[in-house]
Structure 1
Amino acid sequence: MIAHVPNYRELMKSMLEYDLLGFQTNRDLNNFLVCLRTYFGLESKDGVVTTQRGQTRLQKFPIGIDPKQFAEYLAADLSPPEQEKVSSLLQNFEGAKFAIGVDRLDYTKGIDKRVEAFNHLLAAEPGSISLLQIAPPSRTDVEQYRKYKEHVENAINDVNAEHGTDDWRPIHYTNGSFSQAALARLYRAAHVGVVTPLRDGMNLVAKEYVAAQDPENPGVLVLSKFAGAAEDFNDDEALLVDPKPPRRDRRRY
């Protein structure tokens, strides 16, 4: 991918002017090493690359959260308006199973593919689960992002029209923003956390969802294999999935 960037060789040489380069994931670190080998014939030894300038150490520094502090948000007071907003949302799911997705409204987050997967699930198991999708707008001044927002909202409306009833709506969608304390309550209430970006450097929502769970009765994290956070979870801690549609269906997109 870096070869698509203008002046990518100069960019990589500039990076090697530093004594230390940090990467979010082992995948990204290893990809950089492959590029150094491919374009400059450079090799690393014990995580160190030697050039005419000197030595550059490469290391993984994954961004994270303070799980204890995030769990403490569950006991934090909400403002009356936000408490009303959270209570109003949760009333939609009383006594029913629901999943939660929290993403910027960005095409890399794969929200449209999530909605399509949800559509297939409801076709196979009608009424089995609802989805609360929180998607604050992103880059609203860019036309392609406005079109993506319209595309996602049309897909949600189609699913609700096909599978909803007078008393039940499959997907509840909001562009509102929420405090960390409010999100912690919503994460705790949700039976499933859905974090399925097409590609993501890390994605802290996955870690926030886990931190908010009741240890005695935790929900299930469904996590894209292409999120950086996937390196921090094993198969016993998350259900790792490919968010893209099966290859035989991709020609439709």
Structure 2
Amino acid sequence: MQTSAQNLTSRLANPTRFMSLSATALPWLGGIAAAFIAFGLYLAFFSAPPDYQQGQTVKIMFIHVPSAWLAMGIYLLVAISSFGLLVFRHPLADVSAKAAVPLGAAFTFLALITGALWGRPMWGAYWVWDARLTSVLILFFLYLGLMALRSSLDDEALASKLTAILALVGIVLLPIIKFSVEWWNTLHQPASVLRFGGPSIHASILVPLLVMAVGFVLAFTAMHLMAMRNEILRRRVKALTLAEVSRAGAGLPAGAKG
């Protein structure tokens, strides 16, 4: 069993094998994600009832909540990928982390924007310095910081290592976001889906929310695979270009071996 698992891991760690598998999976992932999101939107707007307190504005949650979950989940993926780079030197770990960071920033930004739109009718303001809101904003800046750090360094190996270290340090923010509503007095309500004892919201709201969450996860997975493929191709082109420059500098014809 252990040998089989090691063989599978070794096969998946091969960038060429990854390119082949991802090319097969991407059309299916994209189609299934689109179907889930379309069905979730139908349930959200035509099946889910308005909330007795929030009215129709509650339907913002079907975009806001999956985005917020992904904002945290993607950062966890970045941290795991960073750990894989620093500890195991996994060939695709840095590719995964680099590809995930911009997507995590996008979903975090979407969570902040939809949260502001939801908060205006509920709290009377687009923004308050609530513990949950503030910690998610810091997460957004952390994503931006990871992108800025990587782009500021010409040495890709050094950039990969430093961003991985920063990503692992930043993981302490995730439990702060998760438990901020229990640790401090905030305007956000406690968890109503991912909680001990099961969800506390009605099935008419829960089902569309979970369908949208699955659709968002599948959409992210497809976009992540596409971004990883682009990064692998970029690195291959860069390696070929450097090889050609090196041959040219040595006075060898293109395609010749040194």
What TM-score results when the alignment is normalised by the length of structure 2? 0.28
Determine which structure has the larger helix proportion and give its number: 2
Determine which structure has the larger strand proportion and give its number: 1
What TM-score results when the alignment is normalised by the length of structure 1? 0.28
